[in-house]
Amino acid sequence: ELKNIIKRSVLLSTGNTVQVGSLPDELISEAARYEIPVIEHTEESVDLNLKATAHKSERELIVSTLEKVRFNKSKAAKLLNIDRKTLYNKMKQFDIPLQ
């Protein structure tokens, strides 16, 4: 059913964007029951640098895991599914204190 709705909406829309007017009324009334937050992205708010974003996420995961296990490197490495030596290397790479 959803597949058919999407196909129909694409056919009825002009341009590259599906407009609300091309969606069936039942779908719109159903969606109106839920409050959907709208996030407006500006060029400043969207980080398109994949490598930097991946490093930031990796660092945050390592730090939160270390905090969770009270900086027990063996336990953290096991939870992260990496060698302890790899954990030490990543801690050095991301300037994470050994504590």
Q: What is the pLDDT of residue 38?
A: 57
pLDDT at residue number 10: 80
Supply the pLDDT for residue 34: 58
- Distances from the Cα of 55 to the Cαs of 46, 48, 51, 91, in angstroms? 16, 13, 6, 12
Query: How many residues can be counted in the chain?
Result: 99
Q: Which domains does the chain have, with CATH numbers?
A: 2-31 (no CATH), 50-93 (1.10.10)
Which residue's structure tokens are 């930031």? 56
pTM: predicted TM-score of the whole model, two decimal places: 0.53
Four-point Cα dihedral 59, 44, 34, 29, nearest 10 = -140
Instruction: Quote the pLDDT of residue 15.
Output: 75
Phi, psi of 46 (to 5 degrees): -105, 120
Q: Give dist(CA 24, CA 21) in Å, integer.
A: 8
Paired tokens of 72: 């027990």
Q: List per-block mean pLDDT (blocks of 10 residues) for the chain, which spans 99 residues.
A: 80 76 73 58 62 89 94 94 95 93
